Every structure is written in structure tokens, then in C-alpha cells.
Amino acid sequence: MELLMYPMKTLRITQGYGFTVDGVDGTHTFSHAGQHALDQGGRDGGVDPVYAPASCVVKRITPSYNIVYFETLEKVYCADGTKDYMSWRFMHISDLNLRKLGIRVGKVFKQGEICYYEGNKGMGSTGTHLHMEVAKGKYTGTGSFNLNGHNSINNPVFAHKVMFVGTDVNIVKGVYPWKRVTAADYLAAGSSSTIAPSTPTVTPSTGNNTAAGIVTVGETVNLKNQKLYVSSTGSAGYMKTNAIYYIYDGKCVNGRYRVTNNGARVNAGFQYVSGWVDAADLNGGTSSSSGTTSSSTTGSAGLVAGTQVTLNGKLYASSSSTFGFTKSNFTCYIFDGKIFSGRYRVCLLSSYVNKSAAYVAGYVDPSEITIVK
């Protein structure tokens, strides 16, 4: 079962709910009076991509604001612990980006796939942003009704109470108490189902290209004292101290990936490629929970990615956390064969090996696992 995920890579609320919720005064909102709506500004004033919170289908489009209504294909696991169908509506995408994504009634998006963009479409909209409303249950009727004199999505709920925030999401201004997703949440959703990726996986190109793992189109790349190269070969480039880019097409060429400086320009034409990054430099190297760079090495047991193991011990939430769930004869797979702070990352299915970090079920101590012969 999929988890319902927050749909952007940067969580920055620019206008909150029109209600007082969790101690946050909502009586003075600009245009959300009496609504369960949130405005998100993304990373900056640019146009950020919006990812499908769960696998979903488009149910209705209202052209005046380019409002798009979505409904989950199946029941999903929510941050409040419930399992249900969910629906939501996004507003303000531009006509150009609406056409670019081919959005139409009946179109299906997989979880983590770019399904929308920030925009400024509609009378009274001020600045590029995403307007979001979330609802419990399936899409019903026309999708909306009059609530306190304002148009609202049917069966509205507060987004921060039902959406998980991915581990790769940067919370700049959350305003409300959002729930970060953990390995325990994936387990609670049902380990036999697909773990929710934050972005779609793309297999790197083959041939003379060197695939240095699997990355995802639109994935955020943070260069921290690393070089943005001008080509896939050579040493010419510019050092970046703390710069955000996006994976352009997910193809690895000579150990490097194309990136763009605007999430809306992903796969939009090579004129939008800002440069190339080494696969080893993705996300500023491998970061530890303290924010410092840590090395990753093959463990003393020499376990490689895809090795099936049995866990009799704790499945930890992170490489350094003491929190975990005690497991007995728990079957899992070594995710990438690397050790972080003395622990391996594991996933639940062999098909998840070496995919994005969203497929990691948790961390295990080598002393508590045995290889399945």
C-alpha cells in the first residue's frame, strides 16, 4: 500500500488554512478564509515541479484557474494512521505546463511522477505558487461545494494531518506539525506492497554510458563545494558551494548526469541544461544525520546489493538512530552493499535494490543478519 506523500521537494508555506489549527491562527489569511487550503512557494520564486502524492487519476479540470482534481487509484496509508481513498486539487499551473504534462481527464500518474507545476493562473493569484486542498475519500459530484461562502473541495481535511513528508523534502517554513516518514510508517502500510517513491525511477542509458546507479528525473541535486562541469568529459567547470539543481533526463554519460537549474525545465530541451555533475557528487556526497559528510564502504562481511538476508534484531529508522522495531526471521535484501555508521540499508523486495532512497525499509546491524543460502 502506498503512503500519501507531500508533493514538493521544498515545503514552504506562504499562506495557511483559513482556520485556527494546532495553535496556528488562521483568522487573518489573505484568501483562504474558511478553507482547508494551503499555498506553497516551493524553493524560490521559480516554477517548481509537483509530484503525485500517490498513484492517481485526473477526475476534472477547471480552466479558469487550471484547477486539476485527482483521486487515488487505491486506498493509501495516511499520516493519521488511516487507510482510505484520497483526493486533492491543485491550482494555478500555466496553460503551457498543463499542455506539456498532457493533463486530461482520465490521465493516470504514478506516485512520485511530476503531475503538476507551480504557477500563477487565475484572477487574483499573486505570485508563482501551488494552491492545494486535500480530501478524504474518492472524488464526488463536481468535486467542490460552498463552505463558509468559499468554494472548497468536497470532504476536506487538513493536509499536514494526512500527508507524510519525505526524507528528501527540505522544510523551510512548515508552519504546522508535519510528520516525517520513517521506516516504521512503511511497515505499518504493509510490507508486501510497493513502498512509495518520492520521484519516478528511470533506468540510466546503456551502451558506452556508465550507469552509476539509478537516479530519477527531476530529483534535487545539492552541490556542496563540488564542481558543475561544462560537459560529460574533461575537467572544465565551476565550483559550487551550496547550489540546487535538478536531474535533467536521468541518463548517465561517462559517469555524469545533466542537470538544470529549474525543475520546470526537466526534459524540456537541451538549451535548458545548466551543466553536468559527477554521479559521486549527487546530493553533495553521502550525508550523515549530523549533516557532515561520511564515507560508505563495503562491510567486513562483503555483502553486495541484492543479497537476501534474515534479520533477527532491530530494523532501525536511520544509520544512527536507536529507534527501531525488533524483528524475528524477517526477510529483506541488502539495498546497496554500503555501510553507514556500521549499518547496512535494506529493502523489502529484490526489485527495490539500488533504486532511490525512498525504497529503503530501514537499517540493520551486520551482527544481526544472516545470509539466506
At 74 the pLDDT is: 93
What pLDDT digit, counting tens, does each position of 7-47 carry? Answer: 999 999 888 888 888 888 776 666 776 688 899 998 887 88
* Domain annotation covers residue 203: no
**Antiparallel, parallel or unpaired: β 170-173 and 10-15:** parallel
Q: Is the dihedral of CA 358, 359, 362, 366 positive or negative?
A: negative
Q: Which has more confidence, 287 or 6?
A: 6
Q: Residue 1 has what DSSP assignment?
A: -
CB 6 within 8 A of CB 169: yes
In whole angstroms, what is the distance from residue 95 CA to residue 114 CA? Answer: 16
Q: Are residues 327 and 227 in the same domain?
A: no
What proportion of the chain, given as a percentage, has pLDDT over 70?
82
CATH of residue 303's domain is 2.30.30
N residues, the chain: 373
Give the residue, 2 or 213, on which the prediction is more confident: 2
Q: Which helix (H) or strand (E) holds 246?
A: strand 243-253
- Residue 361 identity (one-letter amino acid): A
Q: What is d(CA 216, CA 204) in angstroms, rounded to the nearest whole number?
A: 9
Given 254, 284, 314, which residue is the final one in a domain? 284
Taking every pair of C-alpha atoms in the chain, what is the biggest distance, in angstroms?
65
> What pairs with residue 151 in β-bridges?
146
| Together in a domain, 317 and 257 | no
Q: In sequence order, what are the residues at sequence separation of 6 or more whose Cβ sits closer than 8 angstroms to the Cβ of residue 126?
A: 120
Same structural domain, 119 and 88: yes
pLDDT of residue 159 exceeding 80: yes
Q: How far apart are CA 113 and CA 69, in angstroms?
A: 16
Q: What is the CA radius of gyration of the chain?
A: 21
Same domain, 19 and 76: yes
Mean pLDDT in residue range 251-266: 79
Total of domains in the chain: 3
Above 70 in pLDDT, residue 280?
no
Q: Which residues span the domain enclosing 39? A: 10-189
Closest CA to 30 of 124, 106, 118: 124
**Which run of H or of E encompasses 357?**
none
